[in-house]
């Protein structure tokens, strides 16, 4: 008896669905393989796809996406083309004028190729093309201006500026920061070499200054401030060196051209003028804070360029009045900008202090150019009094600090520092200098300024930095008191007490130092003059050091007893008085 046959659908109810799913998946896989590699068998296509993925990952991690051999080869061919052009020019196949023109055009084409590579998002290729362009452009300028002598000085400077400007434009537009260093290093090295060897040093100096200012704007507009430090430093150094060479020409030929003072003078003045103008644009129009570069380069350009110009005028025995009055006008503008514009619009930020201190520095320089040295210390002391009064009326800490700065300058100028050193350091047998009439006047104005600063209404005096101006002025007062007191007491005791003059002078100095420490500790107990307590510890340290260095070497038993007694009493009393001050002051 036969068994009944079952239908295929009955034998495996899910078989049809499984076969249909497999068929669909095979069809999808074949379609995918046809898009990847048409005509290749399925197994081979799958293997090729896996190998391609592995190779892509390997290339990405090892070589990068763009720094590949074809780009390097193209860059090498760029350099090779420059050598070919040089060969046909040196061999006389092309006239020299045509060869130079073709060389300039060749460099411009390379710059264009660099731009196109960067515009096509091939940054690695652009970096290689830019490096090749630099290797072609600046050696071309150097050799045509020096070895081949086919470019005059003006032509070499202009071509260098064009190459540098276009290179920086491409770099800034596409933000190729690494390439910017390469361009500027090559430009500065080329111009510096031409400055020393190719003649017309003034022209190349002006070109270097122009490149330096261009990199400042390159940093402001392109957001890459790094290279400006390099060019600014080179510009400052070369301007200073050129000023020295122009002011003191050598009689011997040493293989370099001699700068002309008349041509160097405007460049020296232009250095700080252009840089300060650029910084004013940034801080005033753009309202960006002055940074470390702006502060240091302002000082560097003024010292190298402006002070250098003053030296040139003095060596040439030319009048300084016009330069001095111009400086005072700029100084007044600095003060006006600081207090009338920046402080009201931006607050007491770094820009305010930058412009205020620029006004102070230029005021000191400008007055020194137009006021005779006999009256200059008196003038600075008067400016200090004016700053103290205005700082007291308007409660301006900056003006108080400027008051101290003017007084410090006046004290140094009138010789009070030398008088103080004689009183406390010079041997007893030497002829000590005494305060002159200007020195006494400056000391009197220091006293008046300190009284004004103490009596003025103040803000938050709990901050130690707000007491710095009064501390500095008080230090000047102590210098004046010591300069008057030590010679007077030493002369009086030498007439009253017999003994070696050196021992007498030593004990008088010790007594004055120790007594001043105790006096400062006592006065510091009053809150309005609490900054006087800052002198106590330094005075005690100096007194102890002086006992070992001077008194033990030159003193007698009696003078040593007096000196050590004064020092011991000061060590006991001064710290106790300072602690008592802390207990009294809330």
The model's pLDDT over 553-569, given as tens digits with 9 standing for 90+, comes to: 888 888 899 999 999 99
pLDDT at residue 62, as a whole number: 43
Q: Where are the alpha helices (DSSP H) in 42-95?
A: 42-62, 69-90
pLDDT of 54 over the 70 cut? no
Return d(Cα 380, Cα 363) in angstroms, integer.
Answer: 9
Question: DSSP class of residue 14?
Answer: T
Write the DSSP string, 462-476.
TSGGGGHHHHHHHHH
pLDDT category at 66 given cuts 50, 70, 90 is very low
Query: What are all long-range contacts of 221-228, with beta carbons under 8 Å and residues at least 24 apart?
Result: 221/172, 222/171, 222/172, 222/175, 223/175, 224/172, 224/175, 224/177, 224/180, 225/293, 226/177, 226/180, 226/181, 227/180, 227/181, 227/184, 228/293
The model's pLDDT over 83-124, given as tens digits with 9 standing for 90+, comes to: 888 888 777 787 888 888 888 898 999 999 988 888 887 888
Contact between 579 and 527 under an 8 Å Cβ cutoff? The reply is no
Residue range 252-260: mean pLDDT, rounded: 67
The most confident of the ranges 276-285, 421-430, 455-464 is 276-285
Return d(Cα 232, Cα 217) in angstroms, integer.
Answer: 12
Contact between 392 and 405 under an 8 Å Cβ cutoff? The reply is no
pLDDT at residue 528, as a whole number: 83
Return d(Cα 372, Cα 541) in angstroms, integer.
Answer: 40
pLDDT at residue 327, as a whole number: 93
Q: What is the mean pLDDT of the chain?
A: 82
Return d(Cα 167, Cα 473) in angstroms, integer.
Answer: 53
Whether the pTM exceeds 0.95: the reply is no
Return d(Cα 160, Cα 191) in angstroms, integer.
Answer: 8
pLDDT at residue 63, as a whole number: 42
pLDDT at residue 254, as a whole number: 53
Residue range 362-382: mean pLDDT, rounded: 92
Return d(Cα 27, Cα 111) in angstroms, integer.
Answer: 53
Contact between 543 and 535 under an 8 Å Cβ cutoff? The reply is no
Return d(Cα 177, Cα 118) in angstroms, integer.
Answer: 12
| Helix, strand, coil fractions of the chain, as percent rounded to 5 | 80, 0, 20
Q: Which region among 274-283, 308-317, 340-349 has the lowest average model confidence (pLDDT)?
A: 340-349
Phi-psi region of 224 (alpha: psi -120 to 50; beta: other; left: phi over 0): beta
pLDDT at residue 21, as a whole number: 57
Around Cβ 101, how many Cβ atoms within 10 Å? 12
Compute the Cα dihedral for 83, 87, 90, 94 and give only its sign.
Answer: negative
Phi-psi region of 250 (alpha: psi -120 to 50; beta: other; left: phi over 0): beta
The model's pLDDT over 178-228, given as tens digits with 9 standing for 90+, comes to: 888 889 999 999 999 998 887 788 999 999 999 999 889 888 887 777 788
């Amino acid at each position: 008896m036969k068994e009944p046959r079952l239908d295929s659908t009955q034998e495996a109810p899910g078989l049809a669905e499984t076969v249909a799913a497999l068929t669909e998946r095979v069809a999808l896989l074949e379609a995918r393989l046809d898009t990847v590699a048409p005509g290749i068998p399925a197994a081979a296509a799958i293997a090729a796809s896996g190998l391609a993925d592995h190779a892509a990952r390997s290339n990405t991690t090892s070589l990068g996406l763009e720094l590949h051999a074809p780009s390097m080869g193209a860059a090498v061919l760029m350099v090779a083309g420059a050598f070919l052009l040089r060969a046909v020019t040196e061999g006389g196949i092309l006239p020299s004028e045509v060869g130079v023109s073709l060389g300039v055009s060749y460099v411009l084409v390379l710059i264009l190729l660099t731009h196109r590579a960067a515009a096509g998002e091939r940054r690695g290729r652009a970096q290689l093309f830019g490096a090749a362009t630099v290797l072609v452009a600046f050696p071309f300028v150097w050799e045509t201006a020096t070895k081949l002598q086919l470019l005059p000085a003006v032509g070499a400077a202009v071509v260098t500026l064009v190459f540098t400007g276009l290179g920086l434009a491409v770099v800034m537009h596409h933000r190729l920061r690494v390439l910017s260093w390469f361009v500027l290093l090559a430009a500065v090295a080329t111009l510096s070499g031409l400055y020393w060897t190719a003649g017309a040093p003034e022209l190349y100096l002006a070109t270097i200054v122009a490149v330096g200012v261009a990199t400042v704007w390159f940093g402001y507009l392109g957001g890459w401030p790094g290279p400006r430090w390099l060019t600014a430093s080179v510009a400052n150094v070369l301007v200073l060196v050129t000023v020295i060479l122009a002011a003191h020409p050598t009689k011997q030929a040493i293989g370099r051209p001699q700068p002309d003072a008349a041509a160097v003078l405007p460049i020296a003045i232009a250095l700080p003028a252009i840089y300060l103008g650029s910084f004013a644009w940034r801080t005033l129009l753009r309202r960006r804070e002055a940074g470390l570069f702006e502060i240091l380069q302002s000082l560097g350009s003024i010292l190298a360029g402006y002070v250098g110009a003053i030296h040139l005028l003095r060596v040439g025995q030319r009048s300084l009045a016009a330069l001095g009055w111009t400086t005072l006008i700029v100084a007044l503008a600095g003060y006006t900008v600081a207090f009338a514009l920046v402080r009201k619009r931006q607050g007491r930020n770094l820009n305010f202090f930058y412009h205020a201190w620029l006004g102070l520095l230029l005021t000191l320089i400008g007055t020194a150019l137009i006021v005779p040295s006999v009256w200059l210390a008196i003038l600075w002391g008067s400016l200090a009094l004016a700053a103290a009064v205005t700082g007291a009326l308007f409660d301006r800490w900056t003006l108080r600090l400027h008051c101290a700065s003017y007084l410090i300058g006046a004290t140094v100028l009138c010789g009070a520092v030398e008088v103080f050193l004689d009183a406390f350091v010079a041997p007893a047998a030497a002829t000590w200098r005494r305060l002159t009439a200007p020195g006494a006047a400056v000391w009197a104005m220091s006293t008046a300024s300190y009284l004004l600063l103490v009596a003025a209404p103040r803000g938050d005096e709990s901050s130690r930095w707000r007491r710095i101006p009064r501390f500095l002025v008080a230090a000047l007062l102590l210098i004046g008191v010591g300069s008057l007191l030590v010679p007077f007491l030493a002369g009086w005791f030498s007439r009253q007490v017999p003994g070696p003059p050196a021992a007498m002078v030593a004990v008088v100095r010790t007594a004055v130092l120790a007594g001043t420490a105790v006096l400062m500790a006592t006065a510091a107990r009053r809150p309005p003059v609490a900054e006087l307590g800052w002198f106590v510890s330094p005075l005690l340290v100096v007194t102890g050091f002086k006992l070992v260095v001077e008194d033990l070497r030159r003193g007698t038993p009696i003078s040593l007893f007096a000196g050590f007694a004064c020092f011991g009493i000061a060590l006991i009393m001064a710290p106790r008085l300072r602690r008592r001050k802390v207990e009294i002051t809330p």
